Chain A
Amino acid sequence: MKENIVIIGGGIAGLEAAGQLLGLGYKPIIIEKSDRLGGHVADWNCLFPDMTPAKDVVGRLIAGATEANIFLNTEISFVNKLKDSYNIMLSNGISIITKIILVTTGFSVFDASKKEEYGYGVYDQVITNRDLEHWFNTGNDRRIDDCGMNAVGFVHCVGSRDEKAKNPQCSKVCCITAVKQAIELKQKFPETMVYCFYMDLRMFGKKYEDFYIGAQRDYGIRFIRGRVSEVSENIDGRVIVKAEDTLSGKPVKVTLDLLVLMAGMVCNPDSTKVANMISLPIDSDGFLKSRDNVADIIDSPKDGIFYAGACTGPKTVPETLAEARAAALKIHLYNKTMQ
């Protein structure tokens, strides 16, 4: 089993696949750009639907992958296609020859400042889902008033389902993340009025709908069907949010102490970079293109190159982990056919 297997990206998909491949007797190589493993999930506090601490999940995955060859702070400089393999040159000067590459480059969080009308980066009291999660982790954010806030709002679909922002796709996890974060805020500040501005609530996963019912019934979180059209700052620094309450057909406005933008998932520019290096096609949604979006989501159109996780589109944590396991098995079977 000397065959090299290169995993590009040390997020949860890369870690889980590495763990599975180690179990199958391989010695995979993980190339990670940043200085730590776990990707976006490592920045998160708790995961829906059971409020599992993200650090437990990431910790288990890292523990399962420690035997792999892991290169942190490492990028791919270039890739040369050889006859039946690839020569991957890393930024640390090491080169690897491999027949099997697993792309687990994941997603990027949409840059919420691109939605100029929401004022992220301009108004003090506008933050993102990621900033809020950071606060859950560290308790450190001067924008969040620990003495309690009168009203807080969540804006769904920021940079998702938005052709003008060049992201027509649904980011899938933001609805449930907003419900989760709204509940967590309400637990910390029971007196605070919490509004969610949504277009549709896409509660597709296991126990998501229970979460939604709980948010309404147990926490009194108010759901307003209407996309926020503009945000402005008040004289006292609070933000005024305008939307249409589409269920009553009337414009609605409200003054909030904090506005949380649910920034969506967009294709990681690093995925596109890797795709260009090994001539992988990009799908019409901007994510990497699978051989088939129904039956072969983890197969690239090229032999020996596989995908797992959000590089092919927005995914939840369990979906990503399932794909990573499937990819490990697929790589195992592919390796057998090569011999």
Chain B
Amino acid sequence: MIYQGKQKIWADYQKEIPDDHWFYVRSCIRQNFFPGAEKMFLEICRGLLKKDFYETEHHTTCGGIAYHCDTIPQETVMTIVARQFALMTEAGYENYVASCITSFGNYIEILETWKEFPELEAKIRELLWKACKREFNKPKYVAHASDLIYKYRNEIAARAKFRLVNRHTGEPLRAVEHIGCHYAKMFPSRSIGGAEYPYVLSGMIEAWGGNVIDYPERRHCCGYGFRQYHVKANRGYSISNTYKKFESMEPYHPDFILTNCPGCPYFMDRWQYVIAETEGKTYGENGYGIPVLTYEELASLVLGYDPWDIGLQLHQVAVEPLLDKLGIEYDPSAKYKGLNRKDIMRPELPGVLRCC
């Protein structure tokens, strides 16, 4: 591996990201899968870095899942997105940041489509007006939330309480980074680092002290793939893709996996349980799995937030081995205490995958 070769490619895929004043839209599913992630994003950006991030309870889904599952036509998705832009315009913002990768891809795709077909944009403006009497300006800048954490990575590193270093060995932790397909594959020029060697997550890992693993199936889909998972008859394809990735990364013994998409961490986390049950195989040390984190969760960990406050107890794969390596102290008895110490009950333990 020639690191300078990658740097050369990264230099071709950089983008100027505005520093402040963002209209933030959440993902449909992340709050259920990884409930601490979006909360921590706002906490870090607003509370810690004192940036202006606005969000409104009036925003909806971007329609991306339905669009990618072929259940609604693109005009409908565009009208939904137009309404989101209208909310941004009404709130007085021009920079739009999406928590979800598919939303990000969806917004970029729609804006590019309107650039090529202005008559379609005019039609959508008309549809939006008929539907809810709203008007919108197109955002000046659309970013994915991981772009912003990437942008702020050095500020986070400066405030970090923990480095991505194994405190037992002193070695940098080995990290797999997995980028959501819709982040760069459709429009590589809108990403950080391009689609072949994306840098958005690698940059965070490097800035926080870890080593990035480049394994053969790094480009492969996590296995979610909307129609793969949502149609039960296709679920075998979904898990097969995930399995392929784990088989490929296994020899590198990754300490954790970092992701920037709603579906990827979920499927790479939960399918480890299903693979363990069906194949009897686990990929971490001593029967554990490989912890899968979102970039907000990882940022929160290095900044020293309590693992249970950022929702890590909702992961299928136990994060404790990673916390031990990082030297992060945690209270095992508090793991299943929710907000205000409310008991959220212990889950049943799986048969094969070791979870505590």
Contacts and interface: CB of A to CB of B under 8 A. Distances in A.
Nearest to A123: B1
B216 A124 contact: no
Contacts of B195: 116
B142 to A, nearest CB: 24
Contacts of A237: 1
Nearest to B216: A232
B6 interface: yes
Given A230-B219, A233-B216, A121 B194 contact: no
Contacts of A117: 196
A110 B140 CA distance: 36
B218 interface: yes
Contacts of B215: 232, 235
A233 B2 CA distance: 11
B217 interface: yes
Chain A interface residue number, banded: 10 to 19
Contacts of A121: 2, 5, 8
Given A113-B8, A116-B197, A121-B8, A232 B218 contact: yes
A290 B214 CA distance: 48
A124 B6 CA distance: 12
A237 B196 CA distance: 18
Interface string B187-212: 00000001111000000000000000
B246 to A, nearest CB: 14
B251 interface: yes
Interface residues of B, number: 18
B197 A233 contact: no
Interface in A80-119: 113, 116-117, 119
A149 interface: no
A233 B1 contact: yes
Nearest to A121: B5
Contacts of A116: 9, 194-197
A122 interface: yes
Nearest to A122: B5
Interface string B1-34: 1100110110000000000000000000000000
B252 interface: yes
B170 to A, nearest CB: 22
Interface in B108-154: none
A240 B218 CA distance: 12
Interface in A113-139: 113, 116-117, 119, 121-124
Nearest to A118: B196
A123 B2 contact: yes
A119 B5 CA distance: 9
Nearest to B12: A116
Interface string A191-203: 0000000000000
A230 B248 CA distance: 15
B90 to A, nearest CB: 40
A124 to B, nearest CB: 6
Contacts of A122: 1-2, 5-6, 9, 197
B217 A232 contact: yes
Contacts of B251: 235
Contacts of B197: 116, 122
Contacts of B6: 122
A77 B6 CA distance: 35
* Residue picked from B8, B194, B216, most chain A C-beta under 10 Å: B216
Interface string A222-252: 0000000010111101001000000000000
A235 B251 CA distance: 7
A240 B216 contact: yes
A115 to B, nearest CB: 9
Nearest to B219: A230
A122 to B, nearest CB: 4
Contacts of A233: 1, 214, 216
Contacts of B214: 232-233
B199 to A, nearest CB: 13
A124 B4 CA distance: 12
B252 A235 contact: yes
Contacts of B2: 121-124
Contacts of B9: 113, 116, 122
Interface in B202-243: 214-219
B144 to A, nearest CB: 21
Interface in B140-198: 194-197
A46 B90 CA distance: 70
A121 B10 CA distance: 13
Contacts of A123: 1-2, 5
Nearest to B217: A232
A50 to B, nearest CB: 37
Nearest to B251: A235
Nearest to B196: A116
B241 to A, nearest CB: 13
A217 to B, nearest CB: 34
A230 B196 CA distance: 9
Contacts of B1: 122-124, 233, 237
Contacts of B219: 230, 232
Interface string A267-281: 000000000000000
A242 B1 CA distance: 18
B91 to A, nearest CB: 39
Given A113-B8, A121-B8, 15 more contacts: A116-B195, A116-B196, A121-B2, A122-B1, A122-B2, A122-B9, A123-B2, A123-B5, A124-B1, A230-B219, A232-B216, A232-B218, A235-B215, A235-B252, A240-B216
Interface of A: 113, 116-117, 119, 121-124, 230, 232-235, 237, 240
10 contacts: A113-B9, A116-B9, A121-B2, A123-B2, A124-B1, A232-B215, A232-B216, A235-B251, A235-B252, A240-B216
Q: Which 4 A-B pairs have the closest CB atoms?
A: A122-B5, A121-B5, A232-B216, A116-B196
